[in-house]
Each structure stands twice: as structure tokens, then as C-alpha cells.
Amino acid sequence: MKLTLGLRVIARTLLGELSETVKITINKRISTLQRREYPVKPKILEDRHVRRYSNELQEKHTIIPADKAGKYYFIQTLTRELEIESKSTINCTYAA
């Protein structure tokens, strides 16, 4: 009985020491991270050069989705608006 009680006391003591060591390690790490200065990354879409280039792209080009369904819809719309026969002038991949 005394041996079991002694082992329990030792286990609690070791667990307590381990717990304190973990707490100290975590607190040191938190303190180190809090002292660091993290640079604020600029918002790329707010850059005047990027905005100007984006506006230029939108004025000069048509931007469409890159998936196949989007391409099919875009080609269908263009052929309808331009009154082009789809079977004779469009790649058969996109034919209805």
C-alpha cells in the first residue's frame, strides 16, 4: 500500500514538472512570436499599375471563364450575335 502511494506521489510530481516545463516552453514561444514584426503585405489589386493594366485588359480583350462549358457558351453567344453558321466556321468540339 505504501509503495503504491509513493508511486502515485512520484507520478504526480513528475507530471507536474512536465506540465510546468511545457507551459514555460509555450510561453517563451508566444513571447518570441509576439515580439516579431510581421510586415503588412500590400494589396496587389490596389496598386495603380495593376489597376491600369487590368483596365487596359478589360478594354481591349474579352475575359471569359476557362472551363469548357464557359467556352462553349461564349462561342455559342458569339455565333448567335455575329450570325455565323456554327457548323461551318467553329471547331466541331464546340458544336451543339
Dump pLDDT digits (tens) for 27-47: 999 999 888 888 888 888 888
Q: What is the mean pLDDT of the chain?
A: 78
Q: What is the DSSP letter of 94?
A: G
What region does 83 belong to: left with phi over 0, alpha with psi -120 to 50, or beta? left
In a domain, 59, yes or no: yes
User: The pTM is what?
Assistant: 0.35
Per-residue HEC secondary structure of 19-88 comes to HHHHHHHHHHHHHHHHHCCCCCCCCHHHCHHHHHHHHHHHHHCCCCCCCHHHHHHHHHHHHHHHCCCHHH
Structural domains in the chain (count): 1
Query: What pLDDT score was predicted for residue 1?
Result: 56
In a domain, 12, yes or no: no
Give the range of the structural domain holding residue 60, as residue numbers without chain letter: 44-94
Query: What pLDDT score was predicted for residue 93?
Result: 55
Query: What pLDDT score was predicted for residue 24?
Result: 96
